[in-house]
Amino acid sequence: MKHRAIAILEELIGIQSVNPHYGEGAAGEMALSRHLERLCREAGLVVSRQQVFEERDNLIVRLPAPRPGPLLMFEAHMDTVSLGAMPDPLTPIHREGRLYGRGACDTKGSLAAMLAAMETLALQPDTLGCDVMLCATVDEEHAYRGPLKLLELGLPIAAAVVGEPTNLRIVAAHKGCARFAVHVRGKAAHSSVPHEGVNAIVHMSRVIRYLEETVAPELADIRDPLCGPATLSIGTISGGRQINIVPDRCSIEVDRRIVAGEHPGEALAELEARLLAWSRTQGIDLSVEPLLLDWALGTPEDDPLVSAAKRAAGGLGLPEGSRGETYGSNASKYQGIGGIPSIVYGPGSIAQAHAVDEWVPVAEVEAATAFYVALARSFGR
């Protein structure tokens, strides 16, 4: 007999939920949330909606324990990246113990396991150690506005488990980021008389060298024991209008990865101040534009959530140790903004997320379901 989480996952893969950020043809999350709502109501669960955008709602599912206890939130996002060149992206395909389909790994596998766990717990509420809530959120693949909207409700959430592919490892820490653009202004001139202009691209090359040779190496001293060092990467560059004009502008986009203990706004402010001070000594006309600020995750090893997760994993013969990751997730928003202790846990590998052959191991989806059930029964006791 097919495991309940696998049956749910097959249904979820078949519902297109591409984030509207990815352009024409992206359906968004509403059809998926309606399907999830129907499944939850059939299981006797209490369901409510929170509008984030028109036709894009967070879905909030509640299961109270018979006795008062802390509130544990399971959370997974409903949106996926574009279908891209993936063959049959909306057709769940089983092959060699893997289930293929867009979102199978990121992160409908976690969502299906969480819902299956909620259904199991609803049949045996006396086994709960805490109140449980499942939140299926929108917009993780663009600007995480679903989690930010959820936090506005001020719910008394004691701890959060965010579903993302971790290969069934307990992720208690991951990096955040401070992304920004650097704009250099020059002076246009005809290329036959370049000395009459100021070449913004040439000046930008000096900025790049400063970032790569001076700033980036210093970040190695800012280190998290689970995630490693803070880093800096220059991802894009653009400048100039045509070959016979000295370029009067050039821009780069930079991704500064932060670790727990750093604040994204402070990290950006420090870098901006350094760049502006340095550029004045070099005679470079430069400005910095913030693009995206995201928090790092760092839940202590002795936090009750981490301890309960280790007990649940150990009892199932799953990996008990906690680890860090270099990617980000919604968990850092819950901890960084809401002060909610959080971990990341789910089936599959981040290497398959967004891939043209996205898949998740069937056995890991089943094991994740058991972990979520065990955690809800042990947390708060």
What Rg value do the Cα atoms of the chain yield, rounded?
Answer: 23
Reported as a single tens digit per residue, the pLDDT across 91-132 is 999 999 999 999 999 999 999 999 999 999 999 999 998 999
pLDDT of residue 1: 86
Secondary structure, 3-state, the chain: CCCHHHHHHHHHHCCCCECHHHCCCCCCCHHHHHHHHHHHHHCCCEEEEEEEECCEEEEEEEECCCCCCCEEEEEEECCECCCCCCCCCCCCEEECCEEECCCHHHHHHHHHHHHHHHHHHHHCHHHCCCEEEEEEECCCCCCCHHHHHHHCCCCCEEEEEECCCCCCCEEEEECEEEEEEEEEECECEECCCHHHCECHHHHHHHHHHHHHHHHHHHHHHCEECCCEECEEEEEEEEECCCCCEECCEEEEEEEEEECCCCCHHHHHHHHHHHHHHHHHHHCCEEEEEEEEEECCEECCCCCHHHHHHHHHHHHCCCCCCEEEECCCCCHHHHHHCCCCCEEECCCCCHHHCCCCCCEEEHHHHHHHHHHHHHHHHHCCC
Residue 24: which pLDDT band, with cuts at 50, 70 and 90? confident
Per-residue buried b or exposed e for 170-193, using 16+ beta carbons within 10 Å of the residue's own CB: bbbbbbbbbbbebbbbbebbeeee
Distance (Å, whole) CA 37 – CA 39: 5
- 100-109 pLDDT, tens digit per residue, is 999 999 999 9
* CA diameter of the chain: 82
Mean pLDDT score across all residues of the chain: 96
pLDDT in tens, 246-273: 999 999 999 999 999 999 999 999 999 9
Q: What is the pLDDT of residue 380?
A: 86
The β-bridge partners of 185 are 249, 285
Read off the pLDDT of residues 216-243 as tens digits, 9 standing for 90 and up. Answer: 999 999 999 999 999 999 999 999 999 9
The proportion of the chain whose per-residue pLDDT surpasses 70, expressed as a percent, equals: 100
User: How many CB atoms neighbour CB 321 within 10 A?
Assistant: 11
Q: What is the predicted pLDDT for the residue at 30? A: 97
> Does 185 score more than 90 pLDDT?
yes
Task: Name the CATH architecture for the domain at 176-293.
Answer: 2-Layer Sandwich (3.30)
Cβ-Cβ contacts under 8 Å for 255 (sequence gap 6 or more): 177, 179, 232, 233, 234, 235
- CA dist., res. 72 & res. 376, Å (int): 7
CA dist., res. 381 & res. 371, Å (int):
16
User: What residue has token string 């990815």?
Assistant: 22
Q: How far is CA 161 from CA 55, 190, 304, 308, 372, in A?
A: 26, 59, 13, 11, 9
The mean pLDDT value for 56-83 works out to 96
Residue 221 tokens, joined = 């001293």
pLDDT at residue number 381: 78
Residues 6+ away with beta carbon under 8 Å from 142: 19, 21, 79
Q: How many CB atoms lie within 10 A of CB 269?
A: 14
What does the pLDDT read at residue 13? Answer: 98
Residue 304: predicted pLDDT: 96
> Is pLDDT above 90 for 62?
yes
Region(s) of the chain under CATH 3.40.630.10 = 4-174+296-378
Mean pLDDT for the stretch of residues 135-145: 96
Residue range 357-363: mean pLDDT, rounded: 97
68 has pLDDT over 90: no
CATH number of this structure's domain 4-174+296-378: 3.40.630.10
